[in-house]
Structure formats: structure tokens, C-alpha cells
């Protein structure tokens, strides 16, 4: 009986002690008031309701309306960047096989008189090796392991460059939500107005001969005729 009384008193004492510690701990760890919630609209650039398009209007942008030969040339965004179209393109796009109005003013023989940017020599250069079929087998036109290249200048605009609007686009003016702080560093003094990709630059970094700034190793040459990885040489 005495043992039971001692156990009971001990349990009551422990309970009181734990309750007191819990109360003190709760008071000391009390957190400050919750800060005001941030709305979804304030997290991004869009300040309208994210769950509906009603009342959401995109920023208006204006394309240049100056006619060709009367517009002001736009500086290039970086060295050798495709120049932007500074004039109205209404009625000029899309470019078709039998209708490319860009060449009317931009061909080198016409550009100076029209005040237009002449098409550079790179657009008259064919960089595509012309392989052929011999006895049902495809034969490459060049041997890359011998540093052979297939680059030939022509007097006509090359087909790979015929679709001008693939690289050149009209410049629009608007109020961007994020300011563009990019500042180009041109490698040529007239890089903002003129392409430098001509002459020796057309073949720059194509030297792959052993002994030079090579990307072809002796192991590559030793294994150039290996069938590993081909359908004939695959082991799986």
C-alpha cells in the first residue's frame, strides 16, 4: 500500500513538473505575427488575373513603316549578327521561289545605288560537299581526314541563303517589361554596320591536319575505316 502511494505521488509530481516546463517553453518560442501574404500577380511580370485572359492586353509594338531605300540602318546586335530589316515588309513576305523582292535592292551590283546593305560574299558561297552515287554506293566528295573541304564561290545567290527571312527579321519598337542591358563588343571597327565573314574567315578553324591545330588524331586516322558502329560491324 505504501509503495502504491509513493508511486502515485511520484507520478503527480512528474506531471506537474512537465506541465510547468511545457508552459515556459510555449511562452519562449512564441512566433511573431504572420507577415502579409504576397499575391500571385505580384510575383511575375504580368499584373492581371492569372486564371483568365479577360482584360489582359499585350503591350503594343510598332514595326517600322519607312519604305525601302528611305529607312535608317539598324546597328547589328553583335559581331556578324544578321542585320535587322529597318523598313516596311508589307507585301514582301513570304519569300517564294519565284518571288524574292529582297534581291531587287540587296544584290551587290544594285545595293550602292539603292542605299541598301549588299548581300555578303558568304551568301554566294557553296559550303555543301556534293557527294555522288557510284555503283549504288554513296561516295563522299571530300576526305575530311585529309583536310579537304568543298567551298566554292559562285556569282549566284546560293539556295541555302535564298530564304532571307530565315535569319533577317523586321525590328519592332515597344516598351519591354525587362530592360535589355546587353552591350556588344565588336571585333572589327565597323562590326556594327558590316559583316566581316569573308575571305580567310570562311575557312577559319577548318585545319584538321595532323601537326596543326588538329581535331583529328593518329588514332582517328588508324581507325577511319573501322566498321565499328555501322550496321555491318555491329555485334548486337
Q: Identify whether 68 is part of a domain.
A: yes
52-70 residue pLDDT tens: 888 788 778 889 999 988 8
Q: Are 118 and 109 in contact (CB under 8 A)?
A: no
Rounded distance, CA 193 to CA 166, Å? 20
The reported pLDDT for the residue numbered 42 is 73
Q: Identify whether 19 is part of a domain.
A: no
pLDDT beyond 70 at 139: yes
Confidence of residue 2 (pLDDT cuts 50, 70, 90): very low
Q: 153: which strand partners?
A: 125
φ, ψ (nearest 5 deg) of residue 129: -60, 135
The reported pLDDT for the residue numbered 86 is 93
Closest by CA to 153, choosing from 205, 110, 202, is 202
- Which CATH number does the domain housing residue 143 bear? 1.10.1130.10
pLDDT beyond 90 at 82: yes
Domains in the chain, number? 1
Q: Identify whether 87 is part of a domain.
A: yes
Q: Identify whether 35 is part of a domain.
A: no
Q: Which domain holds residue 97?
A: 60-171+188-224
Confidence of residue 211 (pLDDT cuts 50, 70, 90): low
92 in the Ramachandran plot: left (φ > 0), alpha (ψ -120 to 50) or beta? alpha
SS3 content of the chain, % helix, strand, coil (to 5): 25, 10, 65
Average of per-residue pLDDT across 198-227: 73
pLDDT beyond 50 at 206: yes
Average of per-residue pLDDT across 77-103: 93
pLDDT beyond 80 at 85: yes
In sequence order, which residues have a C-beta less than 8 Å from that of residue 147 and are 6 or more positions away?
206, 207, 208, 209
Q: Which residue has the cell 525587362?
A: 178
Q: Is the peptide bond before 75 cis (omega within 30 degrees of 0)?
A: no
More confident residue, 15 or 41: 41
Amino acid at each position: 500500500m505504501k509503495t502504491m502511494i509513493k508511486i502515485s505521488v511520484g507520478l503527480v509530481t512528474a506531471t506537474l513538473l512537465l506541465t510547468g516546463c511545457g508552459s515556459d517553453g510555449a511562452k519562449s518560442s512564441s512566433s511573431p505575427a504572420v507577415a502579409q501574404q504576397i499575391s500571385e500577380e505580384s510575383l511575375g511580370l504580368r499584373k492581371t488575373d492569372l486564371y483568365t485572359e479577360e482584360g489582359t492586353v499585350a503591350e503594343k509594338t510598332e514595326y517600322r513603316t519607312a519604305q525601302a531605300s528611305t529607312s535608317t540602318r539598324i546597328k547589328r546586335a553583335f559581331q556578324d549578327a544578321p542585320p535587322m530589316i529597318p523598313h516596311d515588309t508589307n507585301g514582301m513576305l513570304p519569300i517564294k521561289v519565284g518571288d524574292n523582292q529582297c534581291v531587287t535592292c540587296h544584290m551587290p551590283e544594285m545595293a550602292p545605288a539603292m542605299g541598301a546593305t549588299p548581300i555578303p560574299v558568304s551568301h554566294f558561297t557553296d559550303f555543301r560537299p556534293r557527294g555522288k552515287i557510284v555503283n549504288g554506293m554513296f561516295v563522299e566528295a571530300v576526305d575530311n581526314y585529309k583536310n579537304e573541304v568543298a567551298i566554292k564561290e559562285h556569282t549566284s545567290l546560293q539556295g541555302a541563303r535564298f530564304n532571307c527571312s530565315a535569319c533577317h527579321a523586321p525590328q519592332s519598337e515597344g516598351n519591354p517589361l525587362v530592360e535589355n542591358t546587353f552591350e556588344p563588343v565588336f571585333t572589327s571597327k565597323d562590326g556594327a554596320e558590316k559583316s566581316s565573314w569573308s575571305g580567310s574567315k570562311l575557312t577559319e578553324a577548318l585545319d584538321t591536319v595532323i601537326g596543326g591545330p588538329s581535331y583529328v588524331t593518329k588514332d582517328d586516322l588508324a581507325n577511319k575505316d573501322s566498321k565499328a558502329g555501322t550496321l555491318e560491324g555491329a555485334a548486337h
